[in-house]
Structure 1
């Protein structure tokens, strides 16, 4: 009995996914001039893209606004029911409106539609039915193809909201590409969590200035050891007269060369030439990968061969970079 129930559950779940997947394929086939025109309309806004919708469409609209904002297109969600009670003030002549409604007849959207027409605010619609009030009011209407809701009753918004969500993602990604939005800009908007940690740059974690352990060629190990101890990075970089990094002496080098004359020797006698380095704009995760591969714990950060910083494995781990 339990096995039969499980099989039925899985069959129902797979049918939901198959139904929604077919809808997305159909949607992709309908994209054309109206989609490009909607991208043009949203890109021209010098203010924000105001995304709005009611009920399930409202939840999708809020997610679309968040995706746009995080990918370089300033956006915000405005609840249509609150708009008539003062929130219309959030929508300015510099903005563009993206309104969502499966039926195209959502009464709560009326105040926003009138406001947009009154002040000449560009309006794009994402709608499941045309002709409809929303489609007719919009400068550009993205009309979803007829879909079969995955709900067996054919009532709960399922396939239709999935299609809206995917279409919103398509708009956001196209606008991202048009704006030349880079991974560096993405990192600036996503400083928190695991995603933010993956996008941290080396320059954000490196030690620099007075914290940088450097000595010139010819320095005695006694003096180099003092610098190494003071800077507490477990190494010292060796630079030539032009300030270029020519080698590195680590704690491991000291252990491997323990001898009565150690402190009197020069750093060149112990240093590892051609030390591994990294650029300041490299991702910190690249630094971790390099250190792990070489079984080392520190990298000097260089520009044109000259050290501008040093990054330690512990700094990366503390920042959540792994």
Structure 2
């Protein structure tokens, strides 16, 4: 015996009710509904009042705890600013190493064609440094007593007026606003006609900076308008990096596009796009490597 037969045996025949039975049942249903309405209205009013009081209290608490501008969620933060602030936090956590004035900042950069450049820059700018650039060795004369004596080919020397160009500048601001003001007024590079904010930033970032100063530099750049984050950027060797670009104008009205590159994991500064920094450190003499 199947299930349907069991149901038929249990319920009996399922005929339609008579017309007069339908009319009677409809009248009973309407009467019962009318009788129930007052009780439902009273119950609904009580529940609504209690619920409304609770809802008003909850809204009041939310209004106190959440500022009005957060009612629709926090304002989006530009990716470039977030990257720079993360790099600043990472830099600020690094140990502070203070080099001696007679030491050198060694930097090795790798180019897209596989060649490597090396520089030994004087910490205080007064000692003679050295550079291996594009396969050529060049002595970089220090600035002493306002003069630089640069050796040229065939034993010639050229003497010029100068100010020291330290690879580890002292007394730089460790505050973002003060750093930005410094970048705008500085003539880093001894009055180079190509001077602009980007040149200032790249020159400083490529040298040795105390952690707090480097953090302030990144935070100052974060205040520059027009920043663009390039999460798909690659360095000169083809490795994925984080890129920050912005357009700037020199004091002579020439437009430049500047770029910062950061390691996507450590957020260490990797260069400005033309070459990737692969090694940097403090050494005691030229030709010495860390």
Pick the structure with more strand per residue. 2
TM-score, length basis structure 2: 0.19
Structure scoring higher RCO (CA < 8 A, sep ≥ 6) equals 2
Pick the structure with more helix per residue. 1
TM-score, length basis structure 1: 0.18
Structure exhibiting the larger radius of gyration computed from Cα positions: 2
